[in-house]
C-alpha cells in the first residue's frame, strides 16, 4: 500500500513547484500570448500593410498596439492567466505524475507512449479547469480600447456570466477546442521531453546540464505548439468577437477549422504560430527550469 504521507508530500511539491513555475512563465511571456490572440482572431485578407485595423506580423502588431493603445496594452488580460496559470500548472504537473503511474500497466519503466498518454490526460484535465479563464482572457485581449477605457476582469466576467452563465456562449465557450488544444500540446510536450531527456545522458557540469534541460524544453514547447496551433486558432475564433454582431459564425471546433480553411486557406490555420513558438518555446524551458529550482 502506498504511504499516504508520501503521496501528500509529493502532491504538495508538484503543486507548489508547478504553480510557481507557471506564474514565472506567464509574467514574462504574456505579451506574446496577446499578440498570438490578436493575429488569430483577425479574419479576412489584409488589404494594406498600413491599415491600422490589421496586423501583418508580430512586430507590426506590437508597434500598432503601442501607438493606438499604449504600452500597458501589452499586458491586457493578464489577470485571468495569473489567477488560472498557477493552479493550472500545478494541476498539470500533479495529474501528469498520477496518470503516468496509472498508465504504467504493471511495468516498472514508463515508455514514450506512457509519457504521451499521461500528458494527453493531464492536458484534458487542465483544459476543463482553465477554459472559463480563457474566455475572459480572450475577451479582454480582443478589446482595443486604451488604458482606463478597458473594462476590468471582474466586469467582463460578470457580464459574460450574467448573459450566458456556464453555457456554450458563456464561460464554457470553446471548451472542446480548449480540450483539443491543451490535450495535444501536453501529449507532445511531455512525451517528447521525458523521452528525449531519458535518452540523452546527464552532464556533471551544472552549466551543461542546465543548457541540456533548456534545449529539450525549448524543442518540446516548439514541437507541441506546431502540432496544436490549428485548435488554438479555432479556440480564439470561437471565444473572440464574432465578425458580425449578433451572429454566431464560429461555434464548433471542427466547423470553425473548416470555415477558416475554406475562407482563408490552409495557412490561416497556423495564424499566430510565430508568437506562440516565441512564447511557448522559451516558456517551456522557463517553466521546467523554474519548476526544478522550486523543487530543490
CATH of residue 165's domain is: 1.50.40.10
Does residue 255 surpass a pLDDT of 50? Answer: yes
| Burial of 10 (C-beta count, 10 Å sphere; 0-12/13-18/19+) | middle
Q: Among residues of the chain, what percentage have pLDDT more than 90?
A: 56
What whole-number distance in Å separates Cα of residue 267 and Cα of residue 283? 24
Entry pTM: 0.87
Q: Kindly provide the residue ranges of all beta strands, DSSP E only, lying in 221-289, ordered along the sequence.
A: none
What whole-number distance in Å separates Cα of residue 184 and Cα of residue 167? 24
The number of distinct structural domains making up the chain is: 1
Does residue 295 surpass a pLDDT of 50? Answer: no
Question: What residue numbers bound the domain in which 277 lies?
Answer: 4-295
- Calculate the dihedral angle through the C-alpha atoms of 169, 267, 39, 135, rounding to the nearest 10 degrees: 20
Which of the 8 DSSP states describes residue 269?
Answer: G
Q: Are the C-beta atoms of residues 105 and 117 closer than 8 Å to each other? A: no
Q: Are the C-beta atoms of residues 116 and 190 closer than 8 Å to each other? A: yes
Three-state secondary structure call for residue 31: helix
What whole-number distance in Å separates Cα of residue 122 and Cα of residue 109? 19
Three-state secondary structure call for residue 57: coil
So what's the pLDDT on residue 288? Answer: 59
What whole-number distance in Å separates Cα of residue 93 and Cα of residue 38? 29
So what's the pLDDT on residue 159? Answer: 96
Does residue 290 surpass a pLDDT of 70? Answer: no
Three-state secondary structure call for residue 77: coil
- Whole-angstrom CA distances from 90 to 54, 100, 139, 283 are 37, 15, 25, 16
So what's the pLDDT on residue 253? Answer: 97
So what's the pLDDT on residue 29? Answer: 85
Mean per-residue pLDDT of the chain:
86
Q: Which three cell numbers, joined as nine digits, stand for 77?
A: 488580460
Q: Which three cell numbers, joined as nine digits, stand for 204?
A: 556533471
Which of the 8 DSSP states describes residue 266?
Answer: G
What whole-number distance in Å separates Cα of residue 21 and Cα of residue 291? 5
So what's the pLDDT on residue 62? Answer: 94
- Whole-angstrom CA distances from 80 to 152, 153, 177, 246, 252 are 11, 7, 18, 25, 23
Helix axes 175-199, 112-142, angle to 10 degrees: 140
Q: Are the C-beta atoms of residues 240 and 233 closer than 8 Å to each other? A: no
> Nearest-CA neighbor of 173 among 122, 121, 248, 65?
248
What whole-number distance in Å separates Cα of residue 268 and Cα of residue 257? 9
Q: Which three cell numbers, joined as nine digits, stand for 83?
A: 489567477
Query: Which of 33-47, 192-206, 241-255 is predicted most confidently?
Result: 241-255
Instruction: Of 12-16, 95-99, 203-207, give the lowest mean pLDDT range.
Output: 12-16
Amino acid at each position: 500500500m502506498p504511504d499516504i504521507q508520501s503521496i501528500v508530500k509529493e502532491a504538495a511539491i508538484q503543486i507548489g513547484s508547478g504553480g510557481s513555475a507557471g506564474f514565472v512563465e506567464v509574467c514574462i511571456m504574456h505579451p506574446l500570448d496577446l499578440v498570438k490572440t490578436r493575429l488569430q482572431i483577425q479574419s479576412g485578407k489584409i488589404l494594406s500593410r498600413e491599415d491600422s485595423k490589421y496586423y501583418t506580423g508580430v512586430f507590426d502588431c506590437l508597434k500598432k498596439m503601442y501607438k493606438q493603445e499604449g504600452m500597458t496594452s501589452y499586458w491586457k488580460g493578464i489577470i485571468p492567466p495569473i489567477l488560472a496559470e498557477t493552479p493550472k500548472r500545478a494541476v498539470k504537473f500533479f495529474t501528469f505524475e498520477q496518470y503516468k503511474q496509472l498508465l504504467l500497466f504493471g511495468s516498472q519503466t514508463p515508455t514514450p507512449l506512457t509519457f504521451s498518454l499521461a500528458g494527453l490526460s493531464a492536458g484534458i484535465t487542465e483544459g476543463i479547469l482553465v477554459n472559463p479563464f480563457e474566455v475572459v482572457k480572450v475577451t479582454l485581449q480582443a478589446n482595443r480600447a486604451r488604458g482606463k477605457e478597458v473594462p476590468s476582469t471582474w466586469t467582463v466576467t460578470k457580464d459574460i456570466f450574467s448573459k450566458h452563465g456556464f453555457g456554450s456562449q458563456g464561460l464554457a465557450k470553446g471548451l472542446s477546442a480548449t480540450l483539443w488544444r491543451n490535450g495535444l500540446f501536453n501529449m507532445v510536450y511531455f512525451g517528447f521531453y521525458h523521452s528525449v531527456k531519458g535518452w540523452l545522458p546527464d552532464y556533471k557540469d551544472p552549466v551543461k546540464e542546465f543548457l541540456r534541460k533548456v534545449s529539450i524544453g525549448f524543442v518540446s514547447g516548439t514541437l507541441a505548439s506546431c502540432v496544436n496551433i490549428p485548435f488554438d486558432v479555432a479556440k480564439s475564433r470561437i471565444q473572440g468577437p464574432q465578425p458580425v454582431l449578433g451572429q454566431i459564425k464560429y461555434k464548433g471546433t471542427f466547423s470553425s477549422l473548416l470555415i477558416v480553411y475554406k475562407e482563408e486557406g490552409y495557412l490561416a490555420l497556423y495564424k499566430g504560430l510565430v508568437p506562440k513558438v516565441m512564447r511557448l518555446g522559451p516558456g517551456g524551458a522557463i517553466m521546467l527550469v523554474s519548476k526544478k529550482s522550486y523543487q530543490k
